A = this chain, B = another copy of it.
Amino acid sequence: MADTTLAGPSAAATAGSKSEQAYHAVKKQIVDGTYSPGYRLVLAKIAEDLGVSVVPVREAIRRLEAEGLVTFERNVGATVAGIDPTEYLYTMQTLSIVEGAATALSSPLIGPDDIARARSVNEEMRACLEHFDPVRFTRLNQDFHSVLFENCPNPHILDLVHRGWNRLASLRSSTFRFVPGRAQESVEEHEALLQLIQSGADAADIERAARLHRSATLDAYLSQTKNI
């Protein structure tokens, strides 16, 4: 299965350093929800928990800030970044663009076995709809697209996709939970996308489909909030 730990930023240089360790530790806890949005990240406390000094922790926090996972205020401190409706819109819109591009760029390199694997993941997602397992659903959704992106010829774009996913992590399964029916649609769109790729469709058509797949989720959210 594709590794959805979500590779760090382009800069993974200093592996093994305490700063690196702190970065991964804090990131993990943000992405998996241990630290919720708004949680106050006190340098000294994190340093003590990890058994290191504040300097590497500070560096780690600043890196997470650059990725949008924490917000930093001078002389005040860091808090786990939430994602307000505006930020959500920006992030989803950007994701629709970069995911569309990543899918289109990868499509010529996607083989029958990849299609089969992706389809199998999608069927698992369908099963999640029955059991109502939104957390697993979200994870499988990333797996699905990760399979398609495995051979993406442009790592920069892939990196942007991963950043967007991390940015959305604080929402967990909210779109799944709050927009009923969207998850079902999503599974169908996945299948349609696979067939499009399988049929050797034009890259532009694949890009459009992949982009719409993401923006439909955004639209579903927008139209719902408008109706309330």
A interface residues, Cβ below 8 angstroms from B: 9-11, 13-17, 55, 58-59, 62-63, 65-68, 71-74, 89-91, 93-94, 97-98, 101, 105, 154-157, 160
Contacts and interface: CB of A to CB of B under 8 A. Distances in A.
B94 A154 contact: yes
28 contacts: A9-B66, A10-B66, A11-B66, A13-B65, A13-B74, A14-B74, A15-B74, A17-B74, A55-B55, A58-B59, A62-B62, A62-B63, A63-B66, A66-B66, A89-B154, A90-B154, A90-B155, A93-B105, A93-B154, A93-B156, A93-B157, A94-B156, A94-B157, A94-B160, A97-B97, A97-B98, A98-B98, A160-B160
Contacts of A90: 154-157
A160 B156 CA distance: 11
Contacts of A73: 13-14
Nearest to A164: B156
B59 A10 contact: no
A73 B9 CA distance: 15
Given A59-B62, A93-B157, A97-B97, 4 more contacts: A9-B66, A10-B66, A13-B65, A13-B73
For the complex formed by this chain, how many copies does it contain in all? 2
Nearest to A208: B204
Contacts of A89: 154
A3 B90 CA distance: 23
A101 B65 CA distance: 25
Contacts of A58: 59
A185 to B, nearest CB: 23
B11 A72 contact: yes
Nearest to A64: B11
A14 to B, nearest CB: 4
B157 A65 contact: no
Given A59-B58, A66-B63, A72 B13 contact: yes
A66 B9 CA distance: 7
A225 to B, nearest CB: 18
A87 to B, nearest CB: 9
